[in-house]
Amino acid sequence: MVDKAVLDRYWNDGYLFLPDALTPGELRALNDDFEAWKDESREQTEAYGETLDGRARFDLEPGHTAEHPALRRVASPVEVSDVYLEVMRDNAALDVVAQLIGPNIEYNNSKINSKQPGAATEVKFHQDFLFQPHTNEDLIAVLFFLDDVTEENGPLEVIPETHRGPMFDHWHDGVYTGAVAPEVKADHIDNAVSVYGQAGSACLMHTRLLHGSALNQSGRPRTLFIAEYRAEDSKPLQVNHLPSRYDGEVVRGERTNRVRCSSYEMEFPEVPTGASFFEQQAKA
């Protein structure tokens, strides 16, 4: 639990850094499962495994080899790991999520984003809400650091206060790219803040905050477990872009079946088809 000044800072900035979001035991167990997946990926040459909508669960970066495995994304790890499921259901950051948008909180989706040493994949600037509109904007992504995050290994970069500004178009030339136009990035990049911290910490991020992250230029990995939660009265208006059988599970408080609506205008994202997140962003 955190005090009001900290909560106020989140509402002002649109993000919050939390040290000690994971216990040492949780951190070790999450990393053990990820290392096992990374080892398994050595035998693979293309994206593999299957999620609920038929897309691959494990996504490999171009240049992936058995000697230098570059597993860059695991979609819905909570479905294939008891450890990820337990941490998603109960962790110290979730208490703060409940303080901010609770008391009733549902799980929305989760993934692992990993940048292995020298990984060339960047995450282009975007606002998460534009991937899956809801009736209101009380959604928070918790980005758990499974490695120390430094200036060199591709930290999350956020643009403070943009959650209170416009929603930017993620469609370009008739294609949904899941990224803002280069001019939007150029207009904001001078205000970017890189979020560093030790393994075990986390960043809480408002669903409308503009953010991205650069390539990993270091010899050390940077792996994040990202779990997104929503207020129970925030109802999805479109299919989950990371479907999971746990979508909608109440993880704090209780189910009320109330719906709360805010007023906003945006163009709906394209329903995911065969493309992975990074393939979609490559069209930007």
Q: Please give the residue ranges that form the binding site for ligand AKG (CB under 6 A).
A: 113, 123, 128, 156, 211, 213, 224, 226
Question: Among all residues, whose Cβ is closest to ligand AKG?
Answer: 213
Q: What is the closest distance, in whole angstroms, from the C-beta atom of residue 131 to ligand AKG in the complex?
A: 8
Tokens 């206060």: give the residue.
161
Nearer of residues 47 and 156 to ligand AKG, judged by Cβ: 156
Q: Which of 261, 274, 240 is nearest to 132 (CA)?
A: 240
Q: What is the closest distance, in whole angstroms, from the C-beta atom of residue 56 to ligand AKG in the complex?
A: 16
Alpha-carbon distance 261 to 263, whole Å?
A: 7
Q: What is the closest distance, in whole angstroms, from the C-beta atom of residue 114 to ligand AKG in the complex?
A: 8
Q: What is the closest distance, in whole angstroms, from the C-beta atom of residue 194 to ligand AKG in the complex?
A: 10
Nearer of residues 61 and 128 to ligand AKG, judged by Cβ: 128
Q: What is the DSSP string of 169-194?
A: P-EETTEE-SS--HHHHHHHGGG-EE
Nearer of residues 124 and 233 to ligand AKG, judged by Cβ: 124
Nearer of residues 64 and 241 to ligand AKG, judged by Cβ: 241
Nearer of residues 10 and 15 to ligand AKG, judged by Cβ: 15
Amino acid at 1: M
Q: Which two three-digit tokens encode residue 121?
A: 């994949």
Q: What is the closest distance, in whole angstroms, from the C-beta atom of residue 211 to ligand AKG in the complex?
A: 5
The three-class DSSP label of residue 251 is: strand
The end-to-end CA distance of the chain, in Å, is 39
Please check whether residue 119 is in contact with residue 38, taking contact to mean a CB–CB distance below 8 angstroms.
Answer: no
